[in-house]
Amino acid sequence: MKHLSILAIGLLCCLHSFGQIGIGTENPVDSAILHIESSDKGLLIPRLTTSERDNILSPELGLLIFNTDANEFQFWNQGNVWNALALTHTSTSLPGQSVKYVNSNTSTNINTNSAINLPIFGTLKWNDNATLYNVDATDNSITIAESGRYKFVINVNISVANNGPQRTNPEVYITVNSTQESASAATGYMRRNNGHNESSLHLNEILELNAGDVIEFKVIRAGNSGTVNLRDSGTSNVYIEKLI
């Protein structure tokens, strides 16, 4: 027992003196604080869901985890956000990749009693990654191929005819897999008097999404009934950007 105690004290002194730890090796390299070698095992980093990750209090700069929801390594950086360490072997996306569409439809009534998909996917302005953003222009929906945090910016210009209804007020919101996940945006009713025939809807949202999520932009009547259309071709748009 005495010999074991002396051995333990000696090992601790060595670790303290040299400031290095070797696992699987007796000769850790001088430039490494921790040197691990193995021919049949790997290093397992803590695995957390996005919710578990977000519960970490005051994460230290450079903290590394594996996000099981996003299926990627993530680290905490100086921007106070979790960033992907690198693309996974199946990933095709990068933060900052975006897609933008403008409307071509000006005939669909968007002031209906039941919500319909906003006819926004008319003309493609750009799509940085068609694999990441899979647009169904017929159904006016978009499927997101990879998990992550996404920014949405929606601008909708609307109008009623000179002989159209008064005090109409449609609103717009975002659904994920048919469930509303955003605020509802409305500006105020269109008086349809003294030239007040136009208005606009604006929505900015950031959503945490999973691979395969189907996104739709819904519009529904919130004021008086009657036909309301998108104002002119190219004056309404949607912009989506992958943040992390």
**Around 128, how many Cα atoms within 13 Å sit in the side-chain half-sphere?**
13
Among the candidates 91, 121, 155, a domain finishes at 91
C-alpha angle with apex 119: 107 to 132, nearest 5 degrees?
160
pLDDT in tens, 123-170: 999 999 999 999 999 999 999 999 999 999 999 998 887 777 778 888
Please indicate, yes or no, whether residues 25 and 116 belong to a single structural domain of this protein: no
| Cα–Cα nearest to 45, from 73, 17, 23, 20 | 73
Which domain, by its residues, includes 230?
A: 98-242
Please indicate, yes or no, whether residues 6 and 52 belong to a single structural domain of this protein: no
Tokens of 121: 């996917």
Place of tokens 């996917």: 121
| pLDDT over 60 (residue 12) | no
Please indicate, yes or no, whether residues 219 and 153 belong to a single structural domain of this protein: yes
Residues 28, 43: Cα–Cα separation, whole Å: 16
| Cα–Cα nearest to 145, from 133, 155, 135 | 133
Among the candidates 56, 91, 126, a domain finishes at 91
pLDDT in tens, 160-173: 877 777 788 889 99
Residues 23, 61: Cα–Cα separation, whole Å: 25
Q: What is the pLDDT of residue 188?
A: 75
Please state the domain count of the chain: 3
Please indicate, yes or no, whether residues 8 and 60 belong to a single structural domain of this protein: no
How many percent of the chain have pLDDT more than 70? 86
Q: Provide the CATH number for the domain around residue 173.
A: 2.60.120.40
CB 121 within 8 A of CB 135: yes
pTM for the predicted model, two decimal places: 0.65
Residues 183, 122: Cα–Cα separation, whole Å: 24
Please indicate, yes or no, whether residues 57 and 143 belong to a single structural domain of this protein: no
Residues 45, 126: Cα–Cα separation, whole Å: 38
CB 216 within 8 A of CB 174: yes
Q: What is the pLDDT of residue 30?
A: 84
Mean pLDDT of the chain: 86
Least confident of 36-45, 90-99, 185-194: 185-194
Q: What is the pLDDT of residue 18?
A: 54
pLDDT in tens, 37-51: 999 999 899 999 989
Residues 219, 103: Cα–Cα separation, whole Å: 14
* C-alpha separations of 47 from 55, 87, 148, 181, 227 in Å: 13, 17, 16, 27, 52
Q: What is the pLDDT of residue 79?
A: 67
244 — pLDDT class (breaks 50, 70, 90): confident
Higher local confidence (pLDDT), 77 or 162: 77
Higher local confidence (pLDDT), 229 or 175: 175
Q: What is the pLDDT of residue 16?
A: 44
